[in-house]
A and B are shown apart, each in its own frame.
Chain A
Amino acid sequence: MCDPISLGSLAVGALGSGINAYEKNQTQSDMVSARNNATRQEMERQKGFSQQSQQAFNGSLANFTPQAQAASLGEQQSRMGQIFQNNAPTDVGGISTASAPRIVQQGADRATGQAQARQGALGQALGNLSGYDQRTFENNVKLNDSGRNIDQIGDFAKTSAAVNGLEQSAAYRNAYRPPSGIGDLLSFAGSMGGFYGGKGGGLPFSNIFGGGSIPVNPVGAGFGRSPFGGL
């Protein structure tokens, strides 16, 4: 075992095994790295979707700050008040005759004027009341709008994630590199060298190629055959 051929063969065989292990590890590392890269790319995409959704959500949220809601309420109350006041009766006429006593005529004018003033005040009061409902309605319309946008971004994100499942598998598979064979060749050479060294000289292939005698193993008849099954 200490002859140079045996030691050399041992070293070559070990080198072959080492190369095999290295290549296997390298391939495994490349495959995992490729899958991780695919995952990272998807995470970047998802980050973009998340930012878009966040932007839409922040827009909705900004609408619900106390200041924004107060401004919206004021706007809607003013708008509603205007609608009701603009629809108040303007010309109501009267029932007095031209010959009515002056005091009656004055009373009629006063009553009509007061009724008109009441219409204006009631219109604004109703506008103030309706403004709350209208603000809620406007809020809901805006929420609905941002909800639609967020739903769509969510759909993009969901489908992209589903595609990424395929991408990860494909990247993992595509990163596979078969062993170069150098390791196997070296291992094989090492084995052959070891065999040669063990038998004490003589090429193990001599019987294959028709030259030399077949080495006979002194331990058992079965080992006297060629390593290739007695060709």
Chain B
Amino acid sequence: MCLGQSPPHDNSAELARQQEQERQARITEGKGKIDEAFNVFDPAYYDKFKNDYLAYYNPQIDKKFTDARQDVRYNVARRGMLDSTSGQKQFGDLVDSYGENRRTIASNAVEAMNKLRSGVESAKSDLYSQNTASADPNLSAISAVGRAGSLQSPPSFSPLGDIFSGLVNTTGSYIAGRNQGLPAGYASLFQPGGSLAKGGSGYKVG
């Protein structure tokens, strides 16, 4: 007699729940490994990147400023205005332009730093997605280290162009214009055969 015999126990759900719990544990573990791999991208890392950026561009600006200052000096000296307030005004404009360019570089450094940080965050998000999809912490760890390594590769940066040429040319033109209005006695100095035309500025500069 088979009265009262129960059907076989269905444990498929228990197996599925166990698998899901294991999957969640793997994802949590994988997340921990990703976070650990990305710990390298801390504020100090981005600060260093910004300083490296500035260290690349600032010397270029500084060199260009030095050259431009020399050009201004020659320009005003050639016209006998080196120690004039007009020459000083030209130099003041150059200093303003120099400062503006340094601010632009700093602003670009911040922008580049944010771009780098966005890329890092994007990569981290991708890894989180991959971790969830694969639920395999070992794979995620390998991938995280690979991505973290590639993110540290240096990007290429373009050198600066001739940023002060406009100002120097303008200074030259300005002084040439001023020359037109000089008193006859001074203007004659710049004419062919004049004393300054023969022997250069006559000032020791630089």
Contact = CB atoms under 8 A, between A and B. Distances in A.
Interface in A86-115: 86-89, 92-97, 99-101, 104, 107-108, 111-112, 114-115
B83 interface: yes
Interface stretch (A165-173, A201-209, A222-230): A165-173
Given A92-B95, A163-B17, A152 B27 contact: yes
Contacts of B7: 173, 176, 178
Interface in B9-63: 9-14, 16-17, 20, 23-24, 27, 31, 50, 54, 58, 62
A87 B102 contact: yes
B76 interface: yes
B91 A141 contact: no
A84 B58 CA distance: 12
Contacts of A87: 54, 58, 102-103, 105-106, 109
Contact of A151 (B69, B96, B128): B128
A12 B98 CA distance: 111
Contacts, number: 152
B13 A166 contact: yes
A176 B6 contact: yes
A198 interface: no
Contact of A174 (B9, B16, B23, B114): B9
Nearest to B105: A87
A155 B198 CA distance: 85
Interface in B169-194: none
A96 B128 contact: no
Contacts of A169: 10, 13
A173 to B, nearest CB: 5
B85 A170 contact: no
Contacts of A100: 82-83
A123 B106 CA distance: 10
Contacts of B92: 111-112, 114-115
Contacts of B141: none
B84 A104 contact: yes
B125 interface: yes
Contacts of B157: none
Contacts of B54: 87
A47 interface: no
Contact of B83 (A96, A118, A160, A163): A96
Given A83-B110, A104-B83, A170 B11 contact: yes
A173 B14 CA distance: 13
A188 to B, nearest CB: 12
B121 interface: yes
B83 A97 contact: yes
A84 B11 contact: no
B165 interface: no
B15 to A, nearest CB: 9
B24 to A, nearest CB: 5
Contacts of B3: 178, 180-181
Interface string A167-203: 1011101101111110000000000000000000000
Interface in B106-122: 106-107, 109-110, 114, 117, 121
A160 B88 contact: no
A144 interface: yes
A61 B121 CA distance: 20
A178 B5 contact: yes
A130 interface: yes
Given A96-B87, A169-B13, 19 more contacts: A83-B110, A84-B107, A87-B54, A92-B69, A92-B95, A96-B83, A99-B83, A104-B83, A115-B92, A116-B95, A134-B110, A151-B132, A170-B12, A171-B13, A177-B6, A178-B5, A178-B6, A180-B4, A181-B3
13 contacts: A83-B106, A87-B54, A87-B103, A87-B109, A89-B98, A95-B69, A97-B82, A104-B84, A111-B91, A126-B107, A163-B13, A167-B17, A169-B13
Q: Which 3 A-B pairs have the closest CB atoms?
A: A181-B3, A100-B83, A170-B13
